[in-house]
Amino acid sequence: MTAKAAVIGWPVDHSLSPVLHGYWLKKYAIDGSYERIAIPPQQDFGVTVLGLRDAGYRGVNVTVPYKEAAFRLADVKGQNAALTGAANLLLFGKDGRILADNTDGTGLAASLEEKLGPLGGRDGHVVILGAGGAARGALAGLSQRGVARIIILNRHGPRADQLVEQARRQRLPGNVVAGSLEDWPGAARAAWLVINTTSAGMKGNPALAIDVGLLPPSAAVCDIVYNPLETPLLAAAKTRGLETIDGLGMLMHQAAPSFQAFFHAGMGGRRPDVTPELRAVLQEELAQHG
Ligand code: ATR
């Protein structure tokens, strides 16, 4: 029987998930399908998800604006979903129960490790720019990889304070402190990695007003935005000779465990490979439809 999965959200027209999963389905010759399903605001999210479960779907990926709703709907919550209060993956069990997980933070960490090597045990700190859902995922992913010192800077400082308070309540290991973007010059000086989790720099949005020239020459800069692939922040970092990590790596690595979970029978339990060829396919898609 064809194994069915989908990405759900609003809007989902521009989601690259069907391209990613479609590539792997073909590569591994799996009898499966992966669709894009839009859930407009006037439609009930929970009813729609239960309908997909009852129609025999293995599970769904969840994108904006439903990640928190997906988390609340689930019967069983994985550790990463619990840490962030949001789910990008729902799996439908044979007993009808819904399992929530979140692969965004681990996907980001895997993408960073691919370029930088192990993240734990380094001198200096990581700066996370932003304090929304994406920053929550990044914080969880980094602290699980043993990153001990993290500074969260947000345009509106109190939101960064809230994230730090939440990390403290969750007993995340390491030292996490908060600030506003005005604290950038002090934070930049001893940073070995900066991660932009804000939507600044995304196509149509203004760029972040921070000076990457204040970073040490050995620092790396990551942007989770992938449209455009080279954000103004990454372009400025490249000009300074800094290592850069774009958002496509995270996109591919967050998708791999979902694919493994949806199509495990055809994969023999293996996780699909993240390869330069897959990156090229996604870049081509962005060039044509981004
Ligand atoms: P997500 O779940 O994708 O993280 P979000 O919860 O809406 O989305 O958070 C967006 C983040 O981008 C926030 O940290 C926001 O800063 P504020 O909390 O101060 O609003 C940040 N952001 C968006 N546009 C920005 C801009 N132009 N400059 C700086 N930060 C920006």
pLDDT digits (tens, 9 = 90+) for 43-94: 999 999 999 999 999 999 999 999 999 999 999 999 999 999 999 999 999 9
What are 238-274's pLDDT values in tens digits? 999 999 999 999 999 999 999 999 999 888 889 999 9
DSSP bridge partners of 153: 129, 179
What gap in Å lies between CA 179 and CA 52, rounded to an integer? Answer: 42
Q: 10 Å Cβ neighbour count for 194?
A: 26
- 290: confidence class by pLDDT, cuts 50, 70, 90: confident
Q: Quick one: how far is CA 6 from the chain centroid?
A: 17
Identity at 76, one-letter amino acid code:
V
Q: How many Å lie between the centroid of ligand 1 and the Cα of residue 154?
A: 8
Ligand 1 site, residue 133, Cβ cutoff 6 A: yes
- Cβ–Cβ under 8 Å, residues 142 and 119: yes
Catalytic residue among 4, 67, 115, 203: 67
What are 169-209's pLDDT values in tens digits? 999 988 999 999 999 999 999 999 999 999 999 999 999 99
- Cβ–Cβ under 8 Å, residues 45 and 71: no
Number of residues in the chain: 290
- Cβ–Cβ under 8 Å, residues 197 and 134: yes
Taking the model in full, what pTM does it have?
0.96
Known catalytic residue at 27: no
Ligand 1 site, residue 65, Cβ cutoff 6 A: no
Q: How many Å lie between the centroid of ligand 1 and the Cα of residue 192?
A: 22
Q: Is 164 exposed, middle or buried (0-12, 13-18, 19+ CB in 10 A)?
A: buried
Q: How many Å lie between the centroid of ligand 1 and the Cα of residue 212?
A: 19
- Cβ–Cβ under 8 Å, residues 196 and 220: no
Say yes or no to pLDDT of 289 above 90.
no
Atom of ligand 1 nearest to the CA of 209: 28
Integer CA distances (angstroms), 288 to 14, 52, 223, 276, in order: 11, 30, 21, 18
- Cβ–Cβ under 8 Å, residues 199 and 223: no
Return the pLDDT at 266.
Answer: 85
Strand, coil or helix: 129: strand
Q: Whose CA is nearest to atom 5 of ligand 1?
A: 132
